[in-house]
A and B are shown apart, each in its own frame.
Chain A
């Protein structure tokens, strides 16, 4: 069955760029949108953005100026870049398969921003 494996660093300094990758195994990127969602410690869920298999993107308006989501079909993966991070970006970041609702999730990566 389809699985999502998250890769990427978990500790950043303020002003650095967050980079995470989600590898999709057991299925094709062509069938759904692919998303990033984050959750600050002890708080709720926040949608970051989506991408389709041809690179079309949609971003959360508050984050749009700092977010880039990209897709690499040859590696069956999609990636998140978030620039100029601050402590407010400290969260667990999840990748997810998006068919409107999110029916498949990665295990999450805790990203901590601290000087």
Chain B
């Protein structure tokens, strides 16, 4: 099983600030990595797939980068609706799908 470790656990920021979230895989997943946003009481929403491709309708303030074992999600200017929990997920074909434990982005 591939373990995904997200950091930090919680990120306290103000609207307008830049958020940088990390996801590290226990072994290489190439670029088979996605990012999701989840708000309380809602299903997750796909933000990024294949490490850096924004999903349909996702604003360009969200960007993903990385390959292999180290991945980053950046939100360039936090909007009030961006405060949520963010998960990474790997879908390398050689291993069962796994998720990271999540990073909560909260209002400072």
Contacts and interface: CB of A to CB of B under 8 A. Distances in A.
Contacts, number: 50
Interface stretch (A7-15, A22-30, A43-51, A69-77): A43-51
Interface residues of B, number: 22
A62 B56 CA distance: 33
A61 B46 CA distance: 24
Interface residues of A, number: 17
A102 to B, nearest CB: 6
Contacts of A103: 46, 49, 55-56
29 contacts: A44-B99, A44-B102, A45-B44, A45-B87, A45-B99, A46-B99, A47-B97, A47-B98, A47-B99, A58-B96, A60-B96, A60-B97, A61-B96, A94-B44, A99-B49, A100-B32, A100-B50, A100-B91, A101-B49, A102-B34, A102-B36, A102-B44, A102-B89, A103-B46, A103-B55, A103-B56, A105-B43, A105-B44, A105-B45
Interface of A: 44-47, 58, 60-61, 94, 99-103, 105-108
